[in-house]
Structure 1
Amino acid sequence: MKLNDTPDVTGTQAAHIEAAVPPKHWYALAVMTLIYACHFLDRMMVSIIIEPVRKEFALNDSQIGLLTGLAYGASFAAAGIPIGLMIDRVNRVRLLAMLVAIWSAMTTLSGMAQSYVQLLLARMGVGASEAGGSPTSLSLISDMFPASRRSTAVGCFFLSNAVGAIMSILIGGYVAAHHGWRAAMLIAGAPGLLLAVVLFVTVREPRRGAMEPGAGSATARPAAGIGQMLRHIGTNATMYHILAGVTLTTAGVATIGAWLPSFVMRFHGFTIKDAGFAVALASGFCGALGSAVGGYLTDKAADGRPRRRMDVSAGVCLAATATAAAGMLAGTGSLAVGLLSLTQMLAFIVFPAAFGAMLGITAPNMRGATSASLQVCTNLAGYGLGPFMVGVFSDWYGGDQSLRYAMITVMSICFPWAALHFILGARTASDN
């Protein structure tokens, strides 16, 4: 039996909404969190298994960077805007169920690849279908949680990284170590197929703008076109700086997520099982901890004001710059993993803070398209170019330390640059 619709909200109901969120919305958030855990698993699996894949297909670091980053990011970007426009027009629950079913099936197909090109095409299919996962969920969250609770909700949503990390340890570490990388990819696609059914059967579409004061007028507005959405991004200085800051933060985060397994296996003698645990700890558990705690604390500190969310984002990016450099230069594997895990925890605070600010300054009728635009940039320039540029720099530097220096280069550029955009965004946020 499906959950009930979200009722319209009038101005007199706003105070009650701020005080309580219906249990059905927390349930829906839990389902979306599990779905995004599959997103995390499917994205990270290729990084965990990349060393046996590299050996089987005789790949260089640029080819690895293309497989783990740019190919995924480019296909994500190509599909992102069309799917984003769909989000503002169609039933989002059904759309999300369809998307998770597709990307899970493509992950399974990745395990059947007989060549580098076939694996690359399968990963591009995963990227294209995952383009709608986060924007659809964020749009639903904005209509299930009031503005004062959205960073908390988004932080809980990103707990998916911890769940995905557990799954990646079991599948990417244990299964790959004992049964090979193909078996790991085949198994990784199964949970998403099940969750697609659960979502479709048990969660109902909420009304658009239902959590806004005066929701009747909000829900009457038609979905925004691409021109209106682009004007919103292009003419709103805060929105532009959020876009740039999140994209650059993502590039730093993706550098660790994509290359940490190779880094610890090459420089610290980790096995594939140990490397899977390392990336799960850093990008999964610590990333989720940063999102959850950061989302809650940001809601408390910001008190609904985008400016304070930007201040938090700038501070944690500067701190992440120092811990990232220290981790890459650490003399032992355990210290390196610990410092890079701390880096991920700090950096992941940015996402609930920045996405909470974005949802607060975007009208309900364009949140899907705007979220998708943000995801396109973060995946093309962040998850795409970030890991790819590490591979390019590594091949260019040459020598046995090339990967270390390449990772330091990318993160030392991305995190401080992101902090600059958040500082500039904080200056304009008070006017929104």
Structure 2
Amino acid sequence: MDMATIQTTNPPSSKLTSPWLVLAMLLLVSIVNFADRFLLTGLIGPIKAEFGLGDGMIGLLMGPAFVVLYVVAGIPLARLADRWSRKMIIAIGCVTWSLATIATGMAQDEVSLAIARAAVGIGEASFAAPAYSLLAAYFKPERRGLAFGLLGIATYVGQIIGQAGGPAIAEMHDWRVAFYLLGTIGIFVGVLMAVVVRDPVRVVSETAPAVTIPMLSLIKVLSRNASFVLMMLAFGLGALSGIAFGYWGPELFTRNYGLEPVVAKTAFAVNFGIAGLLGMLCFGAVSDRFAKRDMAWPVRLSALALGTATLVILAVTWSNSFALAKWLAIPAGLLGGGWSVGIYATLQYILPDRFRATATALFLAITTLLSYFLGPWVTGLLSQAFGDGTDSLKLALTVVIPIGFIASVIAMIASRRIEKDRALLEQQQ
């Protein structure tokens, strides 16, 4: 066997895109990605009315219908990203999910709606693992917290576009028009990604195997790595809590405060979205500062922020005052918006480049099943079981949200083994 490592360094003659331009393009693609996910949550009312659906079916569309193929496609696409052009995988995926977004607007019943959402999942599976791997190739470890934090603001920009923009378009035209418009924009962004970004060439050096580690061997290696497993559980359970609230929160505001859907959902999206965006940026900068002392610190900060954010969003859920809920959105967004950055940055730190995208995809497969699959669906099922109304949604969220406390404890435990487990992964053949 040829004992050499595949690394993302480039020959002196090769011209790379500016790291900040790469980040900007990935941010643009990611905004489209999350705007599509949140668009459905902003249009629950008209979609339920047109197709006669209950909260359980809406939860199914927001969760399993999207997630199953997202997870199934994510690992082979990430495997491909460890060998082929990451930017082309992202670009092709963006065009694919954008076409599926347009198809969502063309749905005629719940079956065609579910098929369209499943197709969106296939396309979006092409983004996360290749994107974080690409950023890791362009940014040094001590700068990745900021880079990942900047990329993470796409979640909140996408939330504002989907949950505030979608209902506004639906009120002026029709809910279907929102899907047509977003899908068209996404196709353009995907093509732009393919044209603008240059993928670093992986150059062979003499420290570890150039041959990609077999999948089953990689799974065995990762499953025995305590830091990887604990961060995966912490991220998945923390995201389950946050996604359940983020997806059902706009509908909770509408039911809880007796406001017009556009007013309530815009208020939720803007207040939580802007606070989350700022939290993501601040957490990235703080994470980088602490990472210079010890790369375990980003995970510790994630644990503290996640635990506090969970407490605050529980308070929002049971707030009877619209004004108080909007004020609580500030600390909830600041803390809840940033905690994922610390785990992402530390994950990329411990993973060797030669299987970083594939390992990230495995990480995302499990965390996505826990969060996007179970979070919205279980909340919808519980709400329907509790009566399919205002109080039922509160009760459902009260059951699901506290899972964030468990995730916070797990993340703190993970922070104790970072350097040791990184060394173990570097030694893998």
- In the superposition, the TM-score normalised over structure 1's length comes to 0.90
For the 8 Å contact 2:101–2:117, the answer to whether it is kept is yes
Distance 1:235 1:338 in 2: 43
Q: Evaluate the alpha carbon distance shift between residue 89 and residue 7 of structure 1 in structure 2; reply closer, same or farther with a 3 A threshold.
A: closer
Distance 2:380 2:207 in 1: 46
Unaligned runs of 5+ in 2: 1-7, 422-429
1:54 and 2:48 equivalent? Answer: yes
* Structure 2 residue aligned with 1:411: 401
1:363 and 2:352 equivalent? Answer: yes
1:255 and 2:244 equivalent? Answer: yes
Among 414, 417, 420, which residue is 1:425 paired with?
A: 414
- Correspondence list, 1:29-48, <5 A: 29-48=23-42
Among 277, 284, 288, which residue is 2:266 paired with?
A: 277
Structure 1 residue 23: deviation in Å?
A: 7.1
Distance 2:87 2:207 in 1: 20
* Structure 2 residue aligned with 1:80: 74
* Structure 2 residue aligned with 1:16: none
Aligned partner letter, 2:111: V
Structure 1 residue 64: deviation in Å?
A: 1.1
Structure 1 residue 130: deviation in Å?
A: 0.5
For the residue of structure 2 that corresponds to 1:221, the secondary structure is: coil
Among 208, 213, 230, which residue is 2:219 paired with?
A: 230
Distance 1:230 1:296 in 2: 32
For the 8 Å contact 1:394–1:405, the answer to whether it is kept is yes
Aligned partner letter, 1:78: V
For the 8 Å contact 2:39–2:163, the answer to whether it is kept is no
Distance 1:262 1:223 in 2: 46
- Correspondence list, 1:189-228, <5 A: 189-208=183-202, 216-217=205-206, 221-228=210-217
Distance 1:238 1:283 in 2: 31
Structure 1 residue 177: deviation in Å?
A: 1.5
Distance 2:272 2:98 in 1: 20
- Correspondence list, 1:30-429, <5 A: 30-168=24-162, 171-208=165-202, 216-217=205-206, 221-282=210-271, 284-303=273-292, 305-340=294-329, 342-398=331-387, 400-412=390-402, 414-429=403-418
Distance 1:341 1:224 in 2: 45
Q: Evaluate the alpha carbon distance shift between residue 100 and residue 217 of structure 1 in structure 2; reply closer, same or farther with a 3 A threshold.
A: farther
Q: Evaluate the alpha carbon distance shift between residue 33 and residue 175 of structure 1 in structure 2; reply closer, same or farther with a 3 A threshold.
A: same
Q: Evaluate the alpha carbon distance shift between residue 374 and residue 275 of structure 1 in structure 2; reply closer, same or farther with a 3 A threshold.
A: farther
* Structure 2 residue aligned with 1:17: none
Identity percentage of aligned residues: 28
Residue range with higher mean Cα deviation, 278-287 or 176-185:
278-287
Aligned partner letter, 1:387: P
Q: CA RMSD in A?
A: 2.2
Distance 2:293 2:224 in 1: 22
Residue range with higher mean Cα deviation, 300-309 or 132-141:
300-309
Q: Evaluate the alpha carbon distance shift between residue 390 and residue 291 of structure 1 in structure 2; reply closer, same or farther with a 3 A threshold.
A: same
For the residue of structure 2 that corresponds to 1:349, the secondary structure is: helix
For the 8 Å contact 1:163–1:284, the answer to whether it is kept is yes
Distance 1:367 1:175 in 2: 40
Residue range with higher mean Cα deviation, 132-141 or 73-82:
73-82
Q: Evaluate the alpha carbon distance shift between residue 320 and residue 50 of structure 1 in structure 2; reply closer, same or farther with a 3 A threshold.
A: same
Distance 1:298 1:331 in 2: 35
Structure 1 residue 421: deviation in Å?
A: 1.0
Aligned partner letter, 1:25: P
Distance 1:76 1:137 in 2: 15
Structure 1 residue 9: deviation in Å?
A: 8.7
For the 8 Å contact 1:318–1:416, the answer to whether it is kept is yes
Unaligned runs of 5+ in 1: 1-5, 11-21
Structure 1 residue 162: deviation in Å?
A: 3.9
* Structure 2 residue aligned with 1:13: none
Structure 1 residue 58: deviation in Å?
A: 1.1
Aligned partner letter, 2:72: A
Q: Deviations over 1:55-74 (max 9, x none)?
A: 11111111111011122122
* Structure 2 residue aligned with 1:24: 18
Distance 2:360 2:391 in 1: 38
Distance 2:151 2:279 in 1: 12
Distance 1:316 1:182 in 2: 37
Distance 2:390 2:190 in 1: 45
For the residue of structure 2 that corresponds to 1:143, the secondary structure is: helix
For the 8 Å contact 2:164–2:262, the answer to whether it is kept is no
* Matched residues, number: 411
Structure 1 residue 219: deviation in Å?
A: 8.9
Structure 1 residue 304: deviation in Å?
A: 6.4
Q: Deviations over 1:247-305 (max 9, x none)?
A: 11111121122101211111112323223323422553222222211011011012263
Aligned partner letter, 1:375: L
Structure 1 residue 166: deviation in Å?
A: 4.6
Structure 1 residue 400: deviation in Å?
A: 4.7
Distance 1:329 1:242 in 2: 30
Distance 1:93 1:218 in 2: 26
- In the superposition, the TM-score normalised over structure 2's length comes to 0.90
* Structure 2 residue aligned with 1:15: none
Q: Evaluate the alpha carbon distance shift between residue 226 and residue 273 of structure 1 in structure 2; reply closer, same or farther with a 3 A threshold.
A: same
Aligned partner letter, 1:335: L
